[in-house]
Chain A
Amino acid sequence: MKKLISMIILISIAAAFAQAKFGMQMRMRSEVQNLNSTNADNQIYDRKVDVRLRPDIEYTVNDYLSVKAVMEIGELQYGSGGGALNTDGKNLETKNIYIDVKPTKNHVFRLGLMPYKDTHSMIVDTDLAGIMWMGQFEKYNVELGWFAASDDDEKYIIRDTYSFGTTLVGLNQTFHLNKNIDLGVYNLFVMSRTEFMPGVNRDYVSMFLAPRFKGEFGKFSVDAQFIANNNFADYDNVGANSQYQDQPWDPDKTGIGLSVKSKFDLDSKTSFRANFLFRGCYENWENYVAYKSFYDTGLEIINENANGISTHNPMNSFVVQSSNNREFELGLVVPSIFVDWKFKENITFTGGFGFIMNDQDYGKKIDFTNLDESMNKDMFMAWEMDFKANVVLYEKLNLLPYFAFLVPSDNFIYNKASNATNFDENGDPVTDMQMKLGMTVHYNF
């Protein structure tokens, strides 16, 4: 009888909210860091606390249709903007709104503002407006999407309409070889048109080809993604602009990238992880350039997607300067190792060590016509050590305290060409240690 009553009550309550489900993710970060400079005389101990809330609601119309909206409030920085005295900020943002049409249980058509990423977030990881088909077959999964990253309107030039903006077409295929091994390949085509000068269009195409391998072999697992990208620009004088003479210097670019993430479970409490990032050049400045990456190296400082607030982003923040004042990103290698130790069921400590180096011995302050004039040909840039913990409270509350420090070399300074505070009064690089200390809190339901 009790069971029957409980079941009826549960069904009644569930039925009342069957069509709409609410949820939310909350994140709060607090951090102090001095990453602004490698010169201790110029270092600022910057302190920040911020909070972000992502409420979501999902409506299930029927078995075939559902609509989901994810809003975002934040990041609200304590004492600034909507986090200052009196609060009341206008800061409710629309992150995602999409409709899922499921004609069968194996196929979903998604339309709207949706999250989109590649497996390692090394090419793209963002929210986009578009339409995507997600199909599941016996051993094969496919995602095919079209997205409008930007729409800068149309123009009528002489006798034709030209559409400006950026369009993406992505194709992600995964083949389940067996229960332990997945093979896949991801392709992204980015087509962009801008107005170089009145009547002259610049068409820019980026292509990414990313095969990947994911395998589990007993206690060892590995997930690797290789990426080749090719970018080229074409100029078209559709408006017959007489001032346009020749196509400007805008060379084709070819780059390669590699991300490997592996894990070895030593026992039930201890595991080792090794990560490897390679963002290399095909030749000289022809560097791998992601479209909109959000890559996680696992470290806290040399990272794009760390737990904390401030980082040195290995995907785009290391920029050298040539003698003709052009700035270039150079190839990087970031190997790192980690040890995770489960102290208790809800507490895990992590120690991490990694370093960053150029992928070849470029000369910094490069004059490509005279490489002998290079001022620095070192490859090693900096090493980093992290101490972290992951504490789970009340099943849903995650506390992530961390402490990380980075020891730079001269080469690190030359790879941060735009930051003048890294040099002393004589123009020589200063290599004092940098650090960050903080804690992040996640709460989801």
Chain B
Amino acid sequence: MKKIVAFVVIFIMAISLSAQFKTGMAFRSRAEMYCTSEDHQLWKRITDLRFNPYLSYTQNDYLMAKVVFEIGDIGFGNAKQGGAIGTDGINVETKNLFLQITPNKQNTVILGLQPYKDFQSILMDTDVAGLSWKNKFMLSGKELTTFLAWFVSADNDEAYVDNTTYSFGNTEIVADFEYPVNDKMKFGMNNIIQLGREFISDDGLNEIHKTSLNLWSAPYFAGTFNKFYVEAVFGMNNIRPEYEVAEGDGDVSDGEGQDHYSPEHTGIMFSLKTKYDVNEEVAARFNFAYRGADSDYIGGYDSYYGIKSYYSTGLEILTESGCGLDGKDQVFSPITKFANEYGSAGIILPAVFVDYNATKLVKESMSFINNLKLSLGLGYAMTAVEIDRVTGTDGQARPESWIGTEVDFKVEAKMFEELTCTPYFAILFPGEWYDYNGGHEPFTKVGVSLKTNIK
């Protein structure tokens, strides 16, 4: 009997030890050759890797602490990033570090550096320090999920000016809601209020601050109707900067002598993503993105932009989040690129895709491939308003809007059960926005991405 008791005790200890401490990781490596320079055909070549190990410690049912590190992206041969000969780069970053309190199944409170993203990553998709509370409660028989958070995206210290303390930086208040209509449909809304203050100038007489109360709201819908899936989000923002004279009696004027120049930014963005399963092997997708343009800066701007968006159009070049390298030199963001003299020219971007699941074709000859998907994509981009552009050889400005047509070919192979290999080729044929005479070389990306992880 003693032996059995001892066995049970030790066995439970072993199980509980393993339950308390967990570790996992994500590994990604990308190799890409791309030519996205507007001026000349410069082919850049980069191979990089990223490693995200994490550790979590579960104290009991109520408390859990987690830390996620990020090492990378380390460019092969890049001395600054620790990828050159000898390696030994000081490049370990703390991505997330938080304490999670779960008083009951309906409530979760997270304190620390945590990830946040909205439904389609058009508002904010990043890691941020703060406090968040996720709550679920029953409403008409369905579970309404609310997510309330206070984030501090920038703290630039305080200053004592004219008998008052001013705090500089940005604070975000998040209020998200999601409600399932049934098993196949849900509605939701992401809302962010950003409060900011920054130092603008001090001429010795007047110290001027820019304060802002910025609002984002993005209702969304997602639903599956038999073979058809659709998700849509409508993003709105209202940016309200105010210029405040913290010390002194002077006024803030713009170039035309108007006092307290503080135009609002009010913009909208619409994103639609759909999928239709033609049969077991073939699926068709249609994505659409619209971002409004600025027309005249007098009276305010009209363009939408996020706090830190990471939006995927599904394409590889005209996107913020492709499967390849996604720096500002590698992709053309539909949310931040394509400017006009007033601000943004906006974008209208429809794209269609055809996915073919070719697993059956290769299963016998290449048994290490668990799943193989071939994708063909076609996107057509134009700015929301015509902008005078000098892109012809005659030096004459013409109103242009056609950015270009992108064609992508991608393969997504899941192999060895957990390794996802994605070779891709993308080419953007420039439209008249870049090229009136038709001699501009296409923008091109070709590469491969490898990913695996342990959760």
- Chain A interface residues (CB < 8 Å from chain B): 1-2, 5, 8-9, 12-13, 15-17, 19-20, 57, 59, 61-62, 64-65, 67, 69, 71-72, 90-97, 99, 101, 103, 111-113, 126-130, 147-156, 161, 163, 165-167, 292
Q: How far is the CB of B202 from chain A (nearest CB, A)?
A: 33
Contacts of B79 in A (CB 8 A): 150
**Docked-complex contact A91 and B90, CB < 8 angstroms:** yes
Q: Give the CA-CA distance A338 to B152 in the complex, in Å.
A: 65
**B35: which A residues are within 8 A, CB to CB?**
161
Which of A72, A148, A163, A167 counts the most B-chain CB atoms under 10 A from its CB?
Answer: A148
Per-position binary interface string of chain B over residues 6-40, scored 1 when its CB falls under 8 Å from any chain A CB and 0 otherwise: 11001100110110000111010100000101001
Q: Is the CB of A9 within 8 A of B90?
A: no
Per the bound structure, the CA–CA distance linking A17 and B18 in Å amounts to: 7
The answer to whether A69 and B77 touch across the interface, beta carbons within 8 angstroms, is no
Give residues of chain B (351-407) contacting chain A, Cβ–Cβ below 8 Å.
368
Choose among A8, A15, A166 the residue that contacts B7 (Cβ–Cβ < 8 A). Answer: A8
B78 within 8 A of A: yes
The stretch among B282-290, B302-310, B342-350, B414-422 that forms the contact with chain A is: B414-422
Known: A64-B368, A64-B416. A94 touches B74 (CB 8 A): yes
User: Could you list which residues of chain B lie within 8 angstroms of chain A, going by C-beta atoms?
Assistant: 3, 6-7, 10-11, 14-15, 17-18, 23-25, 27, 29, 35, 37, 40-47, 49, 51, 53, 71-72, 74-79, 82-92, 368, 416-419, 450, 452, 454
**In the complex, what distance in Å separates the CA atom of A434 from the CA atom of B25?**
50
Which of A1, A8, A161, A165 contacts B43 (CB under 8 A)?
A161
Chain A residues, CB < 8 A from B416: 62, 64-65, 101, 103
| Known contacts A156-B42, A161-B42; A99 and B450 CB within 8 A of each other | yes
Which residue of the partner chain, among A99, A128, A151, contacts B78 with CB atoms under 8 Å?
A151
Contacts of A71 in B (CB 8 A): 92
- Considering residues A101, A103, A126, which has the most beta carbons from chain B within 10 angstroms of its beta carbon? A101
In the complex, which residue of chain B has the Cβ closest to the Cβ of A167? B77
Say yes or no: B87 contacts A113, CB within 8 Å. Answer: yes
B87 touches A96 (CB 8 A): yes
Q: Which residue of A lies closest to B47 (CB)?
A: A148
Across-interface contacts of B11 in A (CB, < 8 A): 8-9, 12
Top 5 nearest A-B pairs (CB, nearest first) are A16-B18, A151-B77, A148-B77, A64-B416, A129-B76
B76 surroundings in chain A (CB, below 8 A): 129-130, 147-148, 151
A-B contact pairs, 29 of them (CB 8 A): A2-B3, A9-B7, A9-B11, A12-B18, A16-B15, A61-B452, A61-B454, A65-B417, A69-B51, A69-B53, A71-B92, A90-B90, A92-B92, A94-B82, A94-B89, A95-B87, A99-B452, A101-B419, A111-B450, A127-B86, A127-B88, A128-B85, A129-B76, A129-B84, A149-B85, A151-B45, A151-B46, A156-B42, A161-B35
Q: Which one of B14, B29, B45, B417 lies within 8 Å of A9 (CB-CB)?
A: B14
Residue from B17, B40, B42, B51 within 8 A of A67 (CB atoms): B51
**Choice from B40, B42, B49 contacting A112 with Cβ under 8 Å:** B49
Q: Are B87 and A59 in contact (CB under 8 A)?
A: no
A151 and B14 contact, CB distance less than 8 A: no
Least Cβ–Cβ distance between B291 and chain A, in angstroms = 31
Question: How far apart sit A19 and B79, CA to CA, in the bound complex (Å)?
Answer: 32
Query: Which residue of chain A has its CB nearest to the CB of B23?
Result: A20
Q: Are A65 and B418 in contact (CB under 8 A)?
A: yes
Cβ contacts under 8 Å, B17 to chain A: 13, 16
A91-B90, A93-B82 known; A113+B77 contact, CB < 8 A: no
Q: Determine the chain B residues whose CB is within 8 A of the CB of A101 once the complex forms.
A: 416, 419
A146 vs chain B, min Cβ distance (A): 10
Which A residues are in CB contact (< 8 Å) with B44?
153-154, 161
In the bound complex, what is the Cα–Cα distance between A97 and B87 (angstroms)?
A: 10
Contacts of A113 in B (CB 8 A): 49, 74, 82-83, 87
Taking the nearest CB of chain A, how far is it from the CB of B118, in angstroms?
31
Shortest Cβ gap from A102 to chain B (Å): 8
A163 to B46, CA, bound (A): 11
* Docked-complex contact A93 and B49, CB < 8 angstroms: no
Tell me the dominant secondary structure on chain B's binding face.
mixed
B417 neighbours in A (Cβ, 8 Å): 61-62, 64-65
Q: Is the CB of B37 within 8 A of A97?
A: no
Could you tell me the distance in whole angstroms from the C-beta of B23 to the nearest C-beta in chain A?
Answer: 5
Using Cβ atoms and an 8 Å threshold, which residues of chain A touch B41? 156, 161
Most buried by B among A1, A12, A129, A167: A129
**Complex formed: what's the CA distance from A91 to B368 in Å?**
41
Instruction: Check B88–A16 contact: CB distance below 8 A.
Output: no
B454 lies within 8 A of A59 (CB): yes
Q: CA–CA, A284 to B70, complex, Å?
A: 51
Greatest chain B CB density within 10 A among A61, A71, A167 is at: A61
Closest Cβ of chain B to A188, distance in Å, is 13
A434 to B417, CA, bound (A): 60
Q: How distant is the Cα of A202 from the Cα of B359 in the complex, in angstroms?
A: 48
Contacts of B15 in A (CB 8 A): 12, 16
Bound-complex Cα distance A300 to B51 (A): 38
Q: Specify which chain A residues have a CB less than 8 angstroms from the CB of B46 in the assembled complex.
A: 151
Cβ of A128: which chain B residues have Cβ within 8 Å of it?
85, 87
Contact of B87 among A2, A91, A127, A152 (CB under 8 A): A127
A16, A92, A129: the one contacting B74 at CB < 8 Å is A129
Answer whether A72 and B14 are a contact pair too, CB < 8 Å, given A67-B27, A148-B76, A161-B42. Answer: no
Q: In the assembly, what is the distance between CA of A308 and CA of B88, in Å?
A: 21
B239 CB, min distance to chain A CBs, angstroms: 36
Q: Is the CB of B14 within 8 A of A12?
A: yes
Query: CA–CA, A5 to B92, complex, Å?
Result: 42
Q: Are A154 and B43 in contact (CB under 8 A)?
A: yes
Contacts of A59 in B (CB 8 A): 23-25, 53, 454
Determine the chain A residues whose CB is within 8 A of the CB of B37 once the complex forms: 156
- Alpha-carbon distance A1/B6, docked complex (angstroms): 12
* Bound CA–CA A112/B17 (angstroms): 32
A81 to B85, CA, bound (A): 23
- Chain A residues near B92 (CB-CB < 8 A): 71, 92, 94
Across the two chains, which residue of chain B brings its CB closest to A5? B7
Closest to A9 in B: B10
List of A residues within 8 angstroms of B71 by Cβ: 69, 94, 97
Q: How far is the CA of A313 from the CA of B61 in the complex (A)?
A: 59
List of B residues within 8 angstroms of A156 by Cβ = 37, 40-42
Closest Cβ of chain B to A101, distance in Å, is 7
Q: How far is the CA of A12 from the CA of B82 in the complex (A)?
A: 39
Chain B residue with minimal CB distance to A69? B51
Q: How far is the CA of A94 from the CA of B86 in the complex (A)?
A: 10
